[in-house]
Amino acid sequence: MGIADRKERDKEELRERILVAAKSLFLEKGVEKTSIRNIADRIEYSPGIIYHYFKDKNEIFHALHQGGFLQLMEKMQVLASVRNPMERLKAMGSIYISFAMENPDMYDLMFIKEAPLDHVFNSEHDHWKEGGGTFNYLRMTIDNCMEVGHFKGHEPEALSYMIWATVHGLVSLNIRKRCEVVLPHRQENIVADGLEEFYKILDRL
């Protein structure tokens, strides 16, 4: 390995350390109460080094978001071979919930924790294409379902949002441990069972 390659590897490793430390602190303290100095202290570097990689903590948070959505969309790639749009829609829900249950901390940052989205709204470029792309894939699948006769009389964008919100609610209640209080005897299976009940409703539409 040459000197240039080694420097690039070290740079990427430090960037990853910054992201790991920031993710941990965001979950522990919340984004608003986490400072660049907190992150620097966690990785035992001076705050100045972090600014070589990110302009502020919002950009760090956004990088974590991007990573999470890329992981989710990578899992969704298997759906390309599912021709039946209703079956694809159901599989999307199953993959989404599986991702959330396997990565609860990341899901918490992506969808539950209050997020500073100033970096997205103030950007001159489409810097949140991962998040938007995930929703657009759901919307496209809903359109495909309508083309073959499902969801007659429904408005596709609002319906897409409702379906997303329903699946999000199923997993969020579990991640935040509400099922342990309300349904302690079914907490192991209630998310999967709830999803199956939701699929039965979709089959009637």
* Per-residue pLDDT reduced to its tens digit, 45-95: 999 999 999 999 888 988 998 889 889 999 999 998 999 999 999 999 999
Judge whether residue 181 has pLDDT over 80. no
Q: Pick from 119, 104, 139: which is nearest to 66 by CA? A: 119
pLDDT of residue 120: 55
Q: Give the span between the Cα atoms of 43 and 52, in whole angstroms.
A: 15
pTM score, whole prediction: 0.82
CB 60 within 8 A of CB 19: yes
Q: Pick from 130, 11, 2, 129: which is nearest to 71 by CA? A: 130
Say which amino acid occupies 147.
E
Structural domains of the chain sorted by starting position, each given as residue range(s) with its CATH number in brackets: 1-54 (1.10.10.60), 63-203 (1.10.357.10)
Q: State the average pLDDT for the chain.
A: 87
